[in-house]
Structure 1
């Protein structure tokens, strides 16, 4: 049977939220489901103590994978037109480590659910796990219904290419706070292909300038 587990992203700054999430998983999903915490940064003293205290919780330690996603995100965002516009006024979270969550695709579980650290697990996961027999991704969000002005992608700009219509684009728009997926969907080679399209072919410009730095927008491109 394929291995299944839960990932989250955390550090000591959000320690209380992490504990709340772990407790909610234990109470509402299962007490023995393996959980892997991806380190947001190196502030992990409290997190490590919590890992040591729970038999089913581990800390993600493949730093080569983490670094690969860090570099991918930073190269892509550096190519976005807003990079030049915001040299002196970048948002404080620019070049954050949120994209580290995508290390899940090269992690320890064959199938997994990712929860943002400020989430709570409210019910069992059987329904979303079972659907991975049919799909590679399962989402539960409302990103696809947002107004064009704040949508993840610049829908009018993409439509001008003649490649896609709004009806094609909207079902692809999702956030990254909760998703269910599988290991191995993104290889090193595929990341290089994505960089070629985004940077060299300038498809990064399709990402709405209102959220060009957002890890969620990496998930839909």
Structure 2
């Protein structure tokens, strides 16, 4: 049984990808002295920087099964075609086709080279061993570690009257998850299961999908509707041992380039909600401060510390309101 790591990326998230790969090598101990094999699922064809990076890493490859990519993009398109209003809404917002279609490529992991895998978004740093997640996949088909169950509004259309007919409240409160990190197995969503899911969506279940997080809502529906066994460490671990994972949590303690929560090291930190452009600007030398920036910079430049930006100006907050000058320029159409 092969075990490996998937990450969704392209050149736009290059700096985050490098930081992710470095953090994985530094912290995800396999107890074998070897690094996990990593497969980069391409968000799109912007991959020149990514390809150059892969040349320097013997354990990293780019997912090249174009048939699988087409299969899952077609599946995602068919899913959204079952929805009563999605395409009209997207079109009104200037979106052609499926919104963020590349995000749905994360589903390719179910047809990839690894029998058991953990998937990560590129805006994540791995800070601890992943062995326990792989071990849990001996008992369950799908494993997560997050607190999305506290907020279903970014997973399903909670205004739908049909939601609680399809998934009882108890399941909504305990089974939904963030699609940014999950462990699972190859082949659990075969053609027969995909056809079943589409048939259910066509029977007026599609309206529960949340069109602003299209890949996340589909994956949650796939897991919950298929009846596969899922497990969330955030619900199963003793409360005093559960660690957070989100950059919006301000209380994590930094020790030796690892983050701790209640004395326990985080398994991963997810810089969710921060734009990829922010990381690019910081790595280009712009002194913008954001939560846990030093941790990110440590792993981004782990193997090339001499290239780490040396900031000379005062830091400005990533979420600071624009200056008066910028507001005037925007009003004149001279600034974005």
TM-score calculated relative to the size of structure 1: 0.89
The structural deviation recorded for 1:169 is: 2.8
Q: Which residue of 2 aligns with 1:84?
A: 88
The structure having more radius of gyration, on CA atoms, is 2
Give the superposed CA RMSD: 2.0
The structural deviation recorded for 1:151 is: 4.5
**Aligned partners of 2:66, 2:120: CA distance in 1, in Å?**
20
**Aligned partners of 1:14, 1:159: CA distance in 2, in Å?**
35
The structural deviation recorded for 1:159 is: 5.4
Contact 1:74 1:95 in 2 (8 A): no
Matched, 1:68 2:71: yes
Q: Which residue of 1 aligns with 2:203?
A: 201
2:131 to 126, 130, 139: 126
Q: Which residue of 2 aligns with 1:12?
A: 11
The structural deviation recorded for 1:52 is: 1.2
Indicate the larger mover: 4-13 or 29-38.
Answer: 29-38
Gap regions ≥5 residues in structure 1: none
Query: After the TM superposition, which residues 34-183 of structure 1 pair with which residues of structure 2 at under 5 Å, given as runs?
Result: 34-80=37-83, 81-90=85-94, 94-146=99-151, 150-155=153-158, 157-158=161-162, 161=165, 164-183=167-186
**Aligned partners of 2:155, 2:94: CA distance in 1, in Å?**
18
C-alpha spacing 1:43/1:63, structure 2 compared with 1 (3 Å): same
Compare the two structures and name the one with the higher helix fraction.
1
Contact 1:175 1:217 in 2 (8 A): no
SS in 1 for 2:45: coil
Indicate the larger mover: 164-173 or 25-34.
Answer: 164-173
Indicate the larger mover: 13-22 or 84-93.
Answer: 84-93
**Aligned partners of 1:159, 1:51: CA distance in 2, in Å?**
43
**Aligned partners of 1:144, 1:99: CA distance in 2, in Å?**
21
Indicate the larger mover: 168-177 or 105-114.
Answer: 168-177
Q: Which residue of 1 aligns with 2:226?
A: none
C-alpha spacing 1:208/1:12, structure 2 compared with 1 (3 Å): closer
TM-score calculated relative to the size of structure 2: 0.60
**Aligned partners of 2:40, 2:210: CA distance in 1, in Å?**
30
Gap regions ≥5 residues in structure 2: 222-336
Query: After the TM superposition, which residues 27-38 of structure 1 pair with which residues of structure 2 at under 5 Å, given as runs?
Result: 27-30=26-29, 32-38=35-41
**CA offsets per residue over residues 118-165 of structure 1, 9 Å max, x none?**
10001010111111111111111222111x6x242245623563x542
SS in 2 for 1:101: helix
User: Higher relative CO (CA 8 A, sep ≥ 6), structure 1 or 2?
Assistant: 1
Give the number of equivalent residue pairs: 214
**Aligned partners of 2:178, 2:63: CA distance in 1, in Å?**
22
SS in 1 for 2:125: coil
C-alpha spacing 1:151/1:52, structure 2 compared with 1 (3 Å): closer
SS in 1 for 2:101: coil
Matched, 1:215 2:215: yes
